[in-house]
Structure 1
Amino acid sequence: MLSILIPIYNYNVYPLALELRKQCLECNIDFEILCQDDASDSSLNIFNEKINLLSHCSFVSLKENIAHRENRNSLAEKAKFEYLLFIDGDSTIVNSDYIKTYLFNLFDFDVVYGGRLHPEKCPSDNQKLRWKYGRFIEDKSAANRKTKPYHSILFNNTIIKKVCFDTVQFDKTIKKYGHDDTQLSFQLSKLKSKVSHIENPVEHGDLDTNLVYLNKTKESLENLNLLYQKKKIDIEFVRLLQLYHFLKTTKSTFIISKINAVFEKLLFKNLTGENPNILVFNLFRAGYLCSIDFKSRT
């Protein structure tokens, strides 16, 4: 029936595994919960080891880091049931009928995405950039997500048929952080996979600090540029790529990259400060993407 796959890096997922197991037992279904730490060598794994004492559950800590994409692929390869539920280790279950809700919405679809929430209040000023982008950009209702079903999938809190996932998988040739969900969703769109969006969110718990998230954003933009250069994704699938392609076609990337360099310190100050602005963040993303193009030609 259901394989629950939890990729981990330096996080205590025992409470998450315990809650998911409880709900699966209440639903009386065949299930397994596979948890895999990506060689973090974390002291928190002492708690994760307790997962192995739970029936239908297992925890493994890898000896070598394989990165997030391949960790997901590895978990899917080990899974034995028809449906795969991908849920990140830093997620919190907020619905006592979380598993039951998915079971009611599984049939006739290849993919079902339940959505994601961020806390109502930001844990600290030093996490506001990730919190704001998550709460005001990524957190969308099912009705909103249904307007662009393929563009709105995040593979944290997504159920996909194993036969469907085995056809696409995450691209293991790309090692950097970011846009793995985008690429996989694009592949699903090309296959015309049946996608459903429902209200069954999890809460994103472990928010990056402003500086960490800004550096991750740079890496994800480098990945997006790589996908663009290798023609692994259509320009129309990503709004930022549409803008970038327009600027590239009009030979404006050099100008934008220079403007970005002039204002880089001001942008950085805002985005790592106590009240980062999402508009400034979007300007930074566009400018940094153009600067990647300029650097690649110099």
Structure 2
Amino acid sequence: MLSILIPVYNYNVFTLVETLYNQCLESDISFEIICLDDASNEFLTKNQQLNQLNNVSFSSLKNNVGRSNIRNLLVQKASYENVLFLDADTIPVHYDFISKYIQELQKGTTIAYGGILYKDIKPPKEQLLRWIYGRKREALKVDDRIKNPAQSAFVSNLLIKKEIAVRFPFDETIIKYGFEDMLFFSVLKSGKIPITHLENPVYHLNLETGAVFLNKTKTALENLSFLYDSKKITKDNSKIIALFVRLKTLKLTTAFAFLFKKTASRIEQNLLSEKPSLLLFDLYKLGFYCSLKTK
């Protein structure tokens, strides 16, 4: 019936698995929960205890393979025709999380994204940028998500038929962090695979510091540049690329990159402050992307 697939990296996944396990038992379905660790060095002893639960497995890879590869490996391990991808640092918001997805399967849904939320409690200053960004840009209601289904979904909470995940695997040329979800959904869109959106959210729990988030954003933009240069995505897949192409047409990319280098440190001060501006963050990302393309 359902294979729940959880990639793990340096995170205690016990509470998430226990929650899912109990909901699956309540729903009275055939299920398995497969956790695959991407060569972590933390929480291994605690996570190994998951193997004591029926229909639950936790194992660890010897070498780090990356976010795309590990998801493909999880799909290969799945025994059932339906798979549910969840990130390790999430937790279902509602007690009927699994049963809602079962209802979707009974309707014949092939892919469903349930959404993501961030808790209302304001985090410390060091984590504000990630929290505000998540609440404003990722935690979208269904009415907003369905306006652009392929660009409003994440693999962190995704129900999908195994045969579709096998037919459209994650691109393993993406080694570093960033935009692997966007590429996956753009490929599904090209394959005319419809994505259902519903309100069945998980909380994203593991907030990074602003400094870590900025560094990961830069890495992700390097990935974005690679994907665009290799023609795996187009400007229609990314607002950043679309803006870059417009600036390039106006012959303003070099000037924008120069301005970014002059103002980056001041923008970073704002982004790491108690009142980070998402408008400045957007300009920061565009400026960094332009600087990548004008080296």
Aligned to 1:69: 68
- State how 1:270-289 maps to structure 2 within 5 Å: 270-289=270-289
How many angstroms does 1:280 deviate by? 0.7
Quote the residue 1:87 is aligned against. Answer: 86
Alignment of 1:1-298 (within 5 A): 1-42=1-42, 44-106=43-105, 107-295=107-295
Deviation at 1:142, TM superposition (A): 1.2
Give unpaired runs (5+ residues) of structure 2.
none
TM-score normalised by structure 1 residue count: 0.96
> What letter matches 1:47 in structure 2?
K
Alpha-carbon distance, 1:63 to partner: 1.0
CA offsets per residue over residues 18-77 of structure 1, 9 Å max, x none? Answer: 1101111111111110001111111x1211011000000000111111111111111111
Q: How far apart, in 1, do the equivalents of 2:167 and 2:77 lie?
A: 15
Indicate the percent of aligned positions where both proteins have the same amino acid: 41
Secondary structure of 1:170's counterpart equals coil
Residue 218 of structure 2 aligns to a residue whose secondary structure is helix
Preserved CA contact (<8 Å) 1:109 1:194: no
- CA deviations 1:174-215 (Å, max 9, x no partner) are 211100010000001001112110000000000110000000
The Cα of 1:247 is off from its aligned counterpart by: 1.3
Query: Do the aligned partners of 1:6 and 1:35 also contact (CA within 8 Å) in 2?
Result: yes
> Aligned partner of 1:169: which letter?
P
**Unpaired runs of at least 5, structure 1:** none
Considering only aligned residues, what root-mean-square deviation do their CA atoms show, in Å?
1.0
Cα distance in 2 between the residues matched to 1:122 and 1:258: 35
> Structure 1 segments of 4 or more deviating over 3 A?
none
Q: How many residues are aligned here?
A: 294
Letter paired with 1:90 = D
